[in-house]
Amino acid sequence: MFDTLQDRLAATFKSLRGKGRLSDADIDATAREIRIALLEADVNLQVVREFIAAVKERAKGTELTGALNPAQQVIKIVNEELIGILGGETRVLRFAKRPPTVIMLAGLQGAGKTTLAGKLALWLKEQGHSPLLVAADLQRPNAVTQLQIVGERAGVHTFAPEPGNGVGDPVQVARASIEEANRKLYDVVIVDTAGRLGIDAELMQQAADIRTATKPDEVLFVVNAMIGQDAVNTANAFAEGVGFDGVVLTQLDGDARGGAALSIARVTGKPIMFASNGEKLTDFDVFHPDRMASRILGMGDMLTLIEQAEKTFDAEQSAKAAAKLASKDGGDFGLADFLQQMQAVRKMGPLSKVFGMLPGMGELKDQIAGIDEKEIDRIEAIIQSMTPAERDDPKILNGSRRARIAKGAGVEVSAVNNLVNKFFDARKMMSAMAGGRMPNIPGMPAMPGMGGALPGARRAKQQQKKKPKNKRGVSGNPAKRNGQQPAQPAAGSNGSAFGAPSQEDLAKQMQDFDLPPELKKMLKK
């Protein structure tokens, strides 16, 4: 949703690189570009003015005095101000001291309240609560039936004493739901209320009556992130007419600019508490202002990615896969393990979404958006067409076996060959990483403290300089010499004059950063 804003901000910050110090003219030009980016993203005008004023004041202050990298300092300021716009801190649900906790959902028709009710109920159920959905939207056609279906999918009960479609009193249904929760020991009641196509007196009065009858602990205003500036106007109207405690954004996975939704927290003074970013009931997350700001600035969201991985992956299976990769050359890690880990990654959601949360992927979002999920299906088909012995030891795959596998998977033999070759390369690289060794990847750009490919004649010249002398113990035959282990460099010899980490330090950092092996594999594929 925030691709346009992300692109404009990235281009703005890129123009600051290489500057030793920022002048007032540089700060003014940067602020102007940021203002244009925010306005193009449909952020509220008053919010933009306050944001730009705060950035310029801090940038021209003492914060940049003596800074070695002013561009990074400006990014830091913009990041902190974005977090402020989005609410500052993560706001969690307030639960009643004496159950049940009553949560009332309010908003316009089409905002996604009914689906959101199911997502919230499933999330609460996973937290160990016993939620009850209440069908208090008795006006929209089939709203009661939809909530019942959503409740069944979420595995929670629905209280629906009235058929709806214009029949029944929503206030009485909401009041009776509290008695039902007390009688059957539900600790959370989620009341789905009716909406309208626009603000009117009847909608406000009904919502106010339900609030009076149920005395909710939380009133959540549900708003579609794609409706533009009207999101702010609607939020203000509900704040004045009914009042609410927090905001829930839906359809964050849409392609609208979405900046208006980011303005709600600042304009209304109410925090954004949850965000829905997909059609599945599991596409529901607590809203973290700092993580969203990080995504907007193209710095990824590793914390959310790790949390999703922890919920998706089986710890025991991941430990076994890591142990197999740590074996000699990773030979114990077979295609069956690869398939298992790949399926676990897919459970986290579309690969484009998973990669989008990785730092530095903002510049590659076009390639990420072009990931073909069907290609993953073809890989699964090829592996599943193998026998258990072939999956455990792909080295036994001769020509006739590969032809049989290709026929069974409905692909060409070249597709099988390509998969097997890439698997061997990936396994070798992951085995080196698991063993604390940094693999030498052909074609990787040169980095301080690491070996790598260099362009053109300079690469050939430097490689000629680094050619080992024919000392005792080193064969003059290149083929034999490549098979020998290189001598260990002296401590710090791989570092640069600017304090870049050595190869051993980088290896240790990679080893300490305990990502699941399947994510490491996807990163290095």
Is 113 annotated as ligand-binding? Answer: yes
Q: Please give the backbone phi and psi of residue 132, each rounded to the nearest 5 degrees, phi first.
A: -130, 125
| 359 Rama sector, left if φ>0, alpha if ψ -120 to 50, beta otherwise | beta
Residue 282 is assigned to a ligand binding site: no
For residue 78, the tally of other CB atoms under 10 A from its CB is: 24
Take residue 498 and report the two structure tokens written for it.
Answer: 């600017």
| Half-sphere CA count of 18, side-chain side, radius 13 A | 2
Three-state DSSP at 169 gives coil
Helices (H) and strands (E) in the chain, counts: 24, 8
The neighbouring-strand residues paired with 214 are none
Is the N-terminal amide bond of 170 cis, ω within 30° of 0?
no
Q: Is 107 flagged in the annotation as binding?
A: yes
Question: Is residue 269 annotated as involved in ligand binding?
Answer: no
Residue 193 counted as an annotated binding residue:
yes
181 neighbors 121 (Cβ within 8 angstroms) = no
Determine if residue 480 is labeled as part of a ligand binding site: no
| 111 marked ligand binding residue | yes
Phi-psi region of 308 (alpha: psi -120 to 50; beta: other; left: phi over 0): alpha
Q: Which residues contact 442 (CB under 8 A, 6 or more apart)?
A: 453
Answer for the pair 308, 348: CB distance below 8 angstroms, yes or no.
yes
In angstroms, the CA 271 to CA 429 distance is 45
- Decide: helix, strand or coil at residue 42: coil
Tokens of 180: 């039902």
Q: Is 114 annotated as a binding residue?
A: yes
258 among annotated binding-site residues: no
Q: Residues at the annotated binding site?
A: 107-114, 192-196
Q: Residues at the annotated binding site for GTP?
A: 107-114, 192-196
